[in-house]
Structure 1
Amino acid sequence: MDDKRDLLILGGGLVGMTLALTAARRGVSSHIVDRADPADLTAEGFDGRASAISTASWNLFTNIGLADRLEPLGCDIASIAVTDQMKPGFLDFTPEPHEGTLGRMFANRDLRLALFEAASEEPLIAWHSKSEITERRRDEHGVSATLGDGRKLHGNLMIAAEGRGSPTRDEAGIVIAKWIYSHRAIIAGLVHEKPHNNVAWEIFYEAGPFALLPMLDLPDGSHRSALVWTVGEDDASGTLKLSNRAFLAEVTKRIGNIFGEVTSVGPRSSYPLGFHHTAKIVDHRLALIGDAAHGIHPIAGQGLNLGLRDVGALVDVLADGMRLGLEPGDAQLLDKYERWRGLDAFSVALATDGLTRIFGIPGKTASAVRRLGMAGIQRTPILKTFFMDEARGVTGDMPDLLKA
């Protein structure tokens, strides 16, 4: 007999798997389908990326029971330093002691392991890994996906969580606005002489931002940070091919002595940067979450957090509706989800795109204007508090799942 579940989630990355687990904690069942092998995704060295988890996103992980698994693996972000080319006039976002941290840094591998382990223990989640989808269907009676081995999975609501290149979104004909920045983000782990003191650095150069994100020390006490270095598309290949010594020399040229000597660099990888935003995030028995709906520049570290806000809002809407006797694919519920998430996601996307463009304007005059503006914000507590709350994700109409 077919195993019909409430949700049919297509895409088992960080956002898709968090959705499945969050839904299960509210009594909502799901199929989750992903083409990847979990063993590959959690292998050492598969993905050197790290993610900043905001206060609101950490509340979500706490509310779904992941905090104990993740707590020892995260590095607090105590403050954020923002500077234009390391010149005077920088911004220092440091909350008061009673306000807690600005977030936590986690290796993506650690997030995946925690999510995968929790999902494998949850009976309301049917996890279909290493599975290709050959057909998707949505009609008045429900949704289905046919897998490459002939199995057919059924649900009431289809969720597109496959990321930026979502085939489910494209097959549904949802209009998408997008452009590329002609830049690539180079990702690497750095080991350095001085402690980072839990400070995240965002250093803006004309070619793009140069971010240094605090990570936990190695077991031998060596200090670590994650590097996200934006370079022009034409320069990316050459930068990746630099010897470790030459690469570290370029890093040191851009950060000065803030970390002392940078002693080693881990494996390097890169990915292209672009912007996209869909005209709508729902269709008949279909909801989009995460990068399937909105892809933004990593300038403010909000990409994953934006997807987790989608998760919190969608599960809140569906669970509340199901308590009233509505089924998950009900058009009223999907409309509520779109109204809740559409404006917030669009606002964040525009803000990150605006920052990217403002800090990319070349010339001494533009730099001087930016530094004057940052100095003004530095002297205005109410503005600093606003930006810190935005970084924490604790502004606006928050889903209950994202509240402490």
Structure 2
Amino acid sequence: MKCKAFLRFIRNTPQTKGVFQALLWAEPDQNTVCPWQLYKYRLNSKILLFLMMGFFVMARGDTGCCAGNRQIVGEDDFGRKIVLEKPPERIVLLSGTPVDLIYELGAGHMLVGVVDTIATSYPETCRRYPSILEKEGVGRFSAPNIEKIVSLAPDLIIPFASSESPGKYTTVFERRGLAYAAFVSVENVAFGIEQIKRMGSVLGKEKEGKALAHKIRTEVDTLSKKISSRIKDRPLVYYWWGTRNGTYGARTAINELIELAGGVNLAGQFDAQHMELSPEYVIARDPDVIVISYWKESQRDERVAALRKKPGFSGVKAVKNNRVHTIEGHSFHTTIRFAEVIQTLAEFIHPGVLGDSGYSGGLRP
């Protein structure tokens, strides 16, 4: 019935009537024509149906099928299927971690809103991508301004997410009919490589995502092979995040990057992410190298001085041998900088192991 209705429509529509008459005879009277004529009519009707369906699909190509308006289908880090009618053009970002990746995918211009504290929380990122400072502020990581976000008319929101949850405000976004895709700090290199591809797909940059993922994977593999072929031992490394007694266990990218750089993470034996180790435990393990993370430039010397003043640390090998170093904390949380991190850590752990091509900054005794 639908086919017959469609044929009647195109026979009587001015734009298609001529085409129909050119291809078909007038509809025969089943009581007066021979079976062969009736068969030819029905056959031609089916042919015309397919031709006209193709015609209408092509005619709509300028509104729904061109590259700029293609439907986007992807997944976020929680396995949620993300379906957008077209590539996003207005993105609100409630986390600082994905900034590097978004810009390296060529999508920085899509950002219309970021958290108010982006400049103070991620100064190195802002130095690398200064246009991020021109974006509208939409509140804090933990307390975004929902009304301000809505006023920016985003077609995609990237919330502040942990590995356990895509964020407590995602239910609000759902009630408001706002699309979101959650991405977390990477836990290992393989996860980070796949995250690049996922982000690329969601942003309509699938080709760029695959190319960037391949580039990072190649850089990391090349560096790790070069380092492993040149070292004879693996010094013990204590990574301190600069406050309390915090460090990172086995389920983190930091643990893997220390290993790829030719070291052993002092906390790597613990199946955990963020954790605290007592000063007594660290002193007893007597690490060869200590790496301290900082987020603001002013914290670098302050944190080194604070560690040296800790009771009992003056006798630790890393302190006695002046092998206490600092590194920008955000670099561990974005896959884009993994190769740079490996180079920097390798210089801390095995000075000169990569020669002239190896070291790219961050060393501070």
Q: TM-score by structure 1 length?
A: 0.27
Answer 1 or 2: which has greater helix percent: 2
Higher relative contact order (CA 8 A, sep 6+): 1
In our comparison, the structure showing a higher alpha carbon Rg is 2
Answer 1 or 2: which has greater strand percent: 1
Q: TM-score by structure 2 length?
A: 0.29
